[in-house]
Structure 1
Amino acid sequence: MTVSVRRAVPGDVSHILDMIVALAVYEQEPDAVKATEDSLGQTLFGPNPQVFVHIAEQDGKAIGLALWFLTYSTWTGRPSLYLEDLFVADSARGDGVGRMLLAALAREAKALGCARMDWAVLDWNEKARGFYMRIGAHHSTGWEPWRIEGEALERLAANG
């Protein structure tokens, strides 16, 4: 199996969306994806992109992705790379594709002067958690994820 990893280009948008949908199905949220090829194209390749994708390919076919963006750590005084989504097609799982994608992001993080890489894992995804531990990652404790969305976000924006 010959797999290569590269930065995504505009022609990859349909494959990126397909993998996002496949990830949502895997994460038991098949109807959660609202992204479209157009919205992804604008976000990833518009005039000021803030979100980036690395694609894993085997024989020219997209088999994995790592979607990421930069955040900032005030404590380190340096940027951090945040991995939003990591996906590997069923047919390629266990073949080192996830490790290749994360290694590419680690090189990207180093090139950008990042102090660390961060991501979230669903609490039921034991396979992913085991994989992350094997590569040397650790579960952060003490911080809980919080979110505001939908009507609550609208109210806060409107009423302060």
Structure 2
Amino acid sequence: MEFGIRALREDDAERVAEMAAALSAHEGMPPPPFGSADVILYGFGENKRFDGIVAETESGLIGYTLFIDSFNIGVGTPGIHMLDLYVEDRARGTGAGRALMGAVAAETIARGGSWIVWQSLPTNKVAIDFYTHIGSRQYQAADFELSGPTLAEMAAESPWR
């Protein structure tokens, strides 16, 4: 399968949102509240919060990755936090995932970074096998989240704003 890699464009928004839902389904999760309007709102313009790269064939997009700039105090350098990486089932094994990772690696270096981090559900064997195959190492860190009412309570207690 022939494919190309390029930067995310606004007209990719609907397809990327569909693939984000497919990624959630693959992981056994409900669809995320992340639609095409969110891709446009947060991927472009004054509210931009992430960057993206897509893989496409003549017939359309087959994969995507979204990422943000970050910094690692322990390493003392900037890097990239990859939010999502997804390649459709029909395109797995074609090199599209590796090409997307390579594009993120190149972007990391271009931005003066020296690392990429991301999360994967421990049950996502396809992803873990791919990440191991390309030479990444798995951290032993624990992920935490503060959200919803607890987030609001913490914010309300803070003298910050």
Aligned mates of 1:48, 1:78 — CA distance in 2:
25
What is the aligned residue count? 158
Letter of the 2:45 counterpart = G
Q: Is the 8 A contact 1:50 1:70 kept in 2?
A: no
TM-score by length of 1: 0.93
Displacement of 1:48 after TM fit? 4.8
Deviation digits for residues 18-73 of structure 1 (CA, Å, limit 9, x no counterpart): 11111111111124x11222222110012252301100001140000011111111
SS in 2 for 1:121: coil
Displacement of 1:113 after TM fit? 0.9
Q: List, as ranges, runs of 4+ consecutive aligned residues in structure 1 with deviation greater than 6 Å.
A: none
TM-score by length of 2: 0.92
SS in 1 for 2:17: helix
Alignment of 1:24-103 (within 5 A): 24-31=24-31, 33-103=32-102
Displacement of 1:157 after TM fit? 1.0
The answer for unaligned runs of 5 or more in structure 2 is none
Letter of the 2:71 counterpart = Y
Displacement of 1:151 after TM fit? 0.8
Percentage identity across paired residues of the two chains: 29
Most deviating of 41-50 and 90-99: 41-50
Letter of the 1:10 counterpart = E
Instruction: Report the aligned-residue RMSD.
Output: 1.3
SS in 2 for 1:25: helix
Letter of the 1:144 counterpart = A
The answer for unaligned runs of 5 or more in structure 1 is none
